[in-house]
Amino acid sequence: MLDIRLIRDTPEVVEAMLRKRGADMDLSHLRDLDTQRRAANTELDELRAQRNAASKEIGAAKQRGEDAEAEMAAVRELGEKMDAVADREKDLANKLDTMLLALPNLVQDDVPTGGEDEGTELRRVGEPRIVEGGTADHLDLGTALDMIDMERGARTSGSRFAYLKGDAVRLQYALVNFAIDRLGAHGFEPVVPPVLVREEAMWGTGFFPADASQVYRIPEENHDLFLVGTSEVPLAALHMDEILDADQLPIRYAGISSCFRREAGAAGKDTRGIIRVHQFDKVEMFSFVEPDMSRDEHDFILAREEELMTALELPYRVVNIAAGDLGAPASKKYDIEVWLPGQQAYRELTSCSNCTDYQAR
């Protein structure tokens, strides 16, 4: 979440960021809650000091053999007041946290304004293969070669599920091994994380509340679990509730996991074949760095992605994603879109985000 001090001291900066993202929110209620919570904390400290002083006086009176019933009654009354103020402070803190968690990260200055179609193309690498009249796409080829079976996937699990078979499976694992080897040379430690996480991991990484509708929930007796849409969530949670020393950084992980997404509201958006499905496998880079190194690390990760595209001889372009299309935790995001001959168009293959200190707070 955002640092409350930003909202307390420079609300106009946060409100300008929200407008750039396409949201218009008045922060006055949030600031009022913060003021009330801080006042409740101050009142609680004062009552605690009064109770401590009264308790000492009771002890002194008893040592002198004096009756301290009045002082003891006053201490009980102070305790009741403290309980009431503590309850009020907790309620205010919960309301404040709920509002803070709904706020996205600040946007970097060089992020373009606009929505999904307003991202800025930074560069193109490689020559796209232009085919007059089009060509067979991945689904045509995969079906003809018995590598992709959408029909049986739908019969088994519903729409947007598929069986990968034979050479498609071999190709997938070859690509995973290829990526892990390349990334390992740059200090990324391979990790196979849990794909079911507790709710606090979803909130802590900023995927809740904004993306709650995209996540599969598994009801459990003591606490629900959630299927991750990206291993970013369990990789971030790997050091949850820990304080990392600066000399440990950077810590770089390459997560290999299955990912699950409901894709709610994605009707008609690249739904042919296995481009936008409910289950897929992915290699995810994740770095823990010092705050002032986050921009350099973001560029470092982008460079690793571009190395992979170049090694695979895939024509691609790099896009600086517009503010209105950023996820809540991201302050800036690059997409790499590769040329798909079957669609005669560039389509997103990778993305990398700088989340600054948003997920660490």
Q: Identify whether residues 234 and 262 lie together within a single domain.
A: yes
Q: Is residue 2 part of a domain?
A: no
Q: Identify whether residues 81 and 199 lie together within a single domain.
A: no
The CA-CA-CA angle for residues 52, 56, 59, to 5°, reads 140
Q: Identify whether residues 64 and 182 lie together within a single domain.
A: no
pLDDT in tens, 298-317: 999 999 999 999 999 999 99
Q: Identify whether residues 95 and 125 lie together within a single domain.
A: no
Q: Is residue 346 part of a domain?
A: yes
| Token pair belonging to 139 | 């689904």
Q: Identify whether residues 62 and 91 lie together within a single domain.
A: yes
Could you tell me how many residues make up the chain?
361
Q: Identify whether residues 327 and 262 lie together within a single domain.
A: yes
| Token pair belonging to 147 | 């590598």
Residues 6+ apart with CB under 8 A from 10: none
Q: Is residue 21 part of a domain?
A: no
pLDDT in tens, 223-280: 999 999 999 999 999 999 999 999 999 999 999 999 999 986 555 567 788 988 999 9
Query: What is the pTM assigned to this prediction?
Result: 0.88
Last residue of a domain, one of 49, 71, 101: 101
The dihedral sign for the CA sequence 317, 321, 325, 331? positive
CATH number reported for the structural domain that contains residue 56 in this entry? 1.10.287.40
Least confident of 5-9, 53-57, 80-84, 331-335: 53-57
Chain Cα centroid distance, residue 286: 11
pLDDT in tens, 221-236: 889 999 999 999 999 9
Q: Identify whether residues 317 and 289 lie together within a single domain.
A: yes
CATH number reported for the structural domain that contains residue 127 in this entry? 3.30.930.10
Q: Identify whether residues 194 and 271 lie together within a single domain.
A: yes
Q: Which DSSP helix (H) or strand (E) runs through 348? A: strand 345-354
| Token pair belonging to 210 | 């904004």
Decide: 280 and 258 in contact? Cβ < 8 Å. Answer: yes
Number of structural domains found in the chain: 2
Q: Is residue 240 part of a domain?
A: yes
What's the mean pLDDT when you consider all of the chain?
93
In sequence order, the β-bridge partners of residue 354 are 332
Q: Is residue 243 part of a domain?
A: yes
Domain ranges, residue 67: 26-101
Q: If we measure between CA atoms, which residue out of 177, 131, 170, 138 comes closest to residue 276?
A: 138
Rounded CA gap, 61 and 54, in Å? 10
Decide: 128 and 315 in contact? Cβ < 8 Å. Answer: yes
Q: Identify whether residues 126 and 97 lie together within a single domain.
A: no
Q: Is residue 359 part of a domain?
A: no
